[in-house]
Structure 1
Amino acid sequence: MCCGIALDSIAGVRTSSVVALSGLTDTSMKAQAKKLFFKLGLSFFLFGLINNVLYVIILSAALDLVPPSTPKGIIAFCNIFPALIAKVGWPYILKGRIRYAKRLLGCCAASVSGMIVVALFDSLMMRLFGICLASFSSGLGELTFLQLSTRYHPSSVAGHSVGYFASGTGAAGLVGASMWWVLRGLGVRMGVGLSSIMPLVIPMTYYFILPHPEALTSVPIPSSFEEEEVDAPYTPLPTDEDARVATKASVALSFEDKWTLVKPLLLKYMLPLFAVYTFEYTINQGISPTLIYPVPSPEKYWLLSKIIKSVRDYYPLWQLVYQTTVFFSRSSISIGLPPLPEKLLSIPAFAQAFILTLLAIESAVGIFSEDSQGLSFSFVFLLISIEGICGGLAYVNVFYRINQEQHHSLTDENADPERAKQEKEFKIGSIGFADSTGILLASILAVPTEVELCNAQARRGKMICKSL
């Protein structure tokens, strides 16, 4: 994975804007600042959108990618396990400075290759291999962009970068589910093939839109980026020049250093995120495929019949509802809503557990009578909407809070600035292990869950899910 243009080689071009800003008037400075912050938000939004959109397309296309007899949970497993390997491998094993340009170009190549494999081959094993390749790229990309956000300062700017990235990942759910709703009519080969060009947006955004961190230190911060709360004095992270000097000392965090940084995060951030994603993806992959009903008649359900034309339309519709609500909740910080207090970060996990229980009961025995299809549909629609809101809030608030955390290396005058930078990058990178592990566990639980719920429906004479 060669990088073409190295990160350091474009630093001079980007930082030239810092020098140019020194002679601007206040009005010009504010206009320039507004432009730079718009480009920053747009860049991280696009990073989140493109990095996650293929992941969502694959999940939404689960019914079309595997034979009817194959549990859809196997798609979720192949779509998350390689991402988990990436999130564990890079922050916990890799030492030293992060080479962002090399990573992003490598991720782009892996994503494109994976989707092309899925599109060109009909065999289950080759499609699963292509999904694994795209998954690894998505996991490494998410980790990289979250770490990249820590290079921007002050902390309010870094926090909003995370907010825009989270908003982009939420939009990826909406765009991916919507795209597959449209592209599925073209078939797997054409639909997946067309989506394979989307990762090319990432390197273009990185090189041509994303402002350099130094460019933002010399402009006034817009009111929307003002500090929510200052817990510790701000200490700038090292510039590229500082980092090049520090590199001579071969600064690298040891395993003991990383474990010391991770321990305080386990219960505070990782456990709530792990629980939310375990419940959420057990619903999406194990219960949602069984939440199917007869095709509504136009006479009784005029509007619903316009949306559901086949029993196979229910699953992608639930995915679309879920992804839509995830998008709005993940965008909460970027649109100016206050983040959740740290003490409430576990609330979404409890809500997800309750929703999972209700949907499992609805699928297995049916809460409403067979003649009340409209009530059943509305009930499921509401619960899946709340599920998406809880999942999105958990994601954006956990990563926002860890991005805003201050630790001793950032306030200690004797601390090595390069070490401080690596610690901050590692801390936000280590959190991804929790959500990916939750999704992986859910993909394992989803297989027997889907089978058992389908059997429960069959025992009460509802055979629709057996035909899918």
Structure 2
Amino acid sequence: MEQTVSVNADPVQHSDMNGRFTQWRNWVGFWLLGLCNNFAYVVMLSAAHDILKKQESENATANTPSTLTVDFQGGNSSNGSRYDCNPVSTAAVLLADILPTLVIKLFAPFVIHKLPYGFRVLFCVIMAATSFLLVSLSSAVWISILGVIFASISSGLGELSFLSLTAFFSRDVLAGWGSGTGGAGVAGALLYSGLTQVGLSPQNTLLIVLVVPFVMLISYFFLLVPPPSLPQWRNRETEYVAVVSEERRQLMDGSEEGEQEKSTPGPLTFKEKLYVMKGLLKFVVPLGLVYFAEYFINQGLMELLYFPNFFLSHAEQYRWYQTLYQFGVLLSRSSLCCVKIRKLWALSFLQVVNAVLLLFAVRYQFLPSAWLVFAVVLYEGLLGGAAYVNTFYFISKETEDREREFAMAAASVGDSLGIALAGLAAFPVHRYFCHL
């Protein structure tokens, strides 16, 4: 009798171990996908600026010093401005990095389902690798800009695709994805800064980080354990919906059979997608507002928060602002396993308060030390990261099975729209303060 029990128990235990191992692989896979997808975006904000600055300087020297050199070298001490700022806001690089992403996120969710996931990932890998090569090997400004655009295309298409992909897995992979995207900010900044600090040129540094797109390739094709319902290489939009619905019901936590509605076979129509987008506004608007306030601070105000009597130089203060912000984002994007925040509007309100506080701090200079700014930007990163992961967690939880894949992709426009609007708003604000 005892022998029979042990024989019957072994398959169950073995199945449970396999399930845990698969869950672990998928979590790690999505963590690496989040890291690799956002890595190019983060690095380009720094690397493209360095290379464009070098090329612009060479052009100024070679062409018309009397006009170009004055405009370019107006840089640090900005015509007697008390803010010691560059007349050209850092928002210029941000806009080149975010606008292609925004365009993709606005239109791709309506047609991207026709392209299988395997082809999407290959395209993102090729775009990311090409962006690093173009920016590192370019001999003209327009080639570097093209490289930044390719990085933006890769990041934007990758984000909406991988967020859609989470609909085919258990909901805990969202925590892995969110943590990985947070890690990209810290890893990208530290790796780029570290390699250039030890003497490598920005060009050689970008050639070294070419390994990152290939890590994405390995993570997707060899680490993830995709379910049979995933449309990997074929467009099966008319036949996989029913299978997906049943599989998702078993995977998603907290769902009860009595509360599930029957899935309608077939893909969503254009009218149904518009209806889903209308329902997503309660998530997209607060997310966009958080990111608008966040990047208005980062690209419009951070450079102006300079304390001349502090032990760090202006460049070092700015670098630490960015670093602490990225650490805040990493911590909060990794917090989904511990805490979940449904009140997204509260996060938006607190982030707007941060932006208003720092705007007045720039104008009236009432903050006594950079230490206070360090605390505020760390807190800013915590709010932004929390808004991101909780938005997509609750979209995944509260959206019907049939609509979830599209909803996850469509909602990703919120952060990009907020970033783009912040970049545009940062230009006049930055110019106003630099001309005081």
TM-score range, shorter chain: 0.7 to 0.9
- Supply the AA of the counterpart residue of 2:365: G
Separation (CA, whole Å) in 1 of partners of 2:160 and 2:229: 23
Structure 1: gaps (5+ residues): 1-21, 218-224, 239-245, 298-307, 369-374, 411-419, 457-468
Contact 1:367 1:376 in 2 (8 A): no
Separation (CA, whole Å) in 2 of partners of 1:236 and 1:324: 43
What is the aligned counterpart of 1:38 among 24, 28, 31?
A: 24
Residue 361 (1) aligns with residue 360 (2): yes
Name 2:124's counterpart in structure 1. 107
Separation (CA, whole Å) in 2 of partners of 1:215 and 1:109: 26
Deviations 1:166-206 (A, max 9, x none): 11101111111211221333232122222233111111111
What is the aligned counterpart of 2:153 among 136, 152, 155?
A: 136
- Summarize the Cα distance change of 1:235–1:111 in structure 2 as closer, same or farther, 3 Å threshold: farther
- Summarize the Cα distance change of 1:97–1:233 in structure 2 as closer, same or farther, 3 Å threshold: farther
Q: CA deviation at 1:62?
A: 6.4
Residue 451 (1) aligns with residue 420 (2): no
- Supply the AA of the counterpart residue of 1:199: P
- Summarize the Cα distance change of 1:406–1:85 in structure 2 as closer, same or farther, 3 Å threshold: closer
Greater shift in the superposed pair: 24-33 or 135-144: 24-33
The aligned runs of 1:76-225 (5 Å cut-off) are 76-94=94-112, 96-152=113-169, 157=170, 159-185=171-197, 186-214=200-228
Greater shift in the superposed pair: 434-443 or 134-143: 434-443
What is the aligned counterpart of 1:29 among 1, 6, 15?
A: 15
Separation (CA, whole Å) in 2 of partners of 1:399 and 1:316: 30
Contact 1:364 1:454 in 2 (8 A): no
- Supply the AA of the counterpart residue of 2:180: G
Name 1:261's counterpart in structure 2. 276
Q: CA deviation at 1:23?
A: 10
The aligned runs of 1:301-312 (5 Å cut-off) are 308=312, 310-312=313-315
Contact 2:32 2:216 in 1 (8 A): yes
Separation (CA, whole Å) in 1 of partners of 2:254 and 2:308: 50
Q: CA deviation at 1:454?
A: 2.8
Name 2:38's counterpart in structure 1. 52
Structure 2: gaps (5+ residues): 1-7, 54-74, 76-86, 231-242, 244-250
- Summarize the Cα distance change of 1:232–1:351 in structure 2 as closer, same or farther, 3 Å threshold: farther
- Supply the AA of the counterpart residue of 1:50: C
Name 1:464's counterpart in structure 2. none
Contact 2:310 2:369 in 1 (8 A): no
Contact 2:48 2:148 in 1 (8 A): no
Deviations 1:240-273 (A, max 9, x none): xxxxxx8xxxx4433212111111111x101101
- Summarize the Cα distance change of 1:437–1:27 in structure 2 as closer, same or farther, 3 Å threshold: same
Q: CA deviation at 1:78?
A: 0.8
- Supply the AA of the counterpart residue of 1:286: G
Q: Indicate the percent of aligned positions where both proteins have the same amino acid.
A: 31
Separation (CA, whole Å) in 2 of partners of 1:116 and 1:352: 37
Where 1:386 maps in the other structure, the secondary structure is helix
Name 2:92's counterpart in structure 1. 74
- Summarize the Cα distance change of 1:432–1:41 in structure 2 as closer, same or farther, 3 Å threshold: same
Where 1:293 maps in the other structure, the secondary structure is coil
Residue 390 (1) aligns with residue 383 (2): yes
Deviations 1:55-91 (A, max 9, x none): 1122244652443454311111011111112212211
> Would you say how many aligned residue pairs link Structure 1 and Structure 2?
376
Where 2:40 maps in the other structure, the secondary structure is helix
Separation (CA, whole Å) in 1 of partners of 2:49 and 2:410: 32
- Supply the AA of the counterpart residue of 2:221: Y
Separation (CA, whole Å) in 2 of partners of 1:232 and 1:125: 58
Where 1:115 maps in the other structure, the secondary structure is helix
- Summarize the Cα distance change of 1:63–1:254 in structure 2 as closer, same or farther, 3 Å threshold: same
- Supply the AA of the counterpart residue of 1:139: G
What is the aligned counterpart of 1:429 among 402, 409, 412?
A: 409
- Summarize the Cα distance change of 1:199–1:295 in structure 2 as closer, same or farther, 3 Å threshold: farther
Give every structure 1 segment of 4 or more consecutive aligned residues whose post-TM-superposition deviation is greater than 6 Å. 235-238
Q: CA deviation at 1:113?
A: 0.5
Contact 1:62 1:72 in 2 (8 A): no
Q: CA deviation at 1:381?
A: 0.4
- Summarize the Cα distance change of 1:110–1:131 in structure 2 as closer, same or farther, 3 Å threshold: same
TM-score (ref. length: structure 2):
0.80
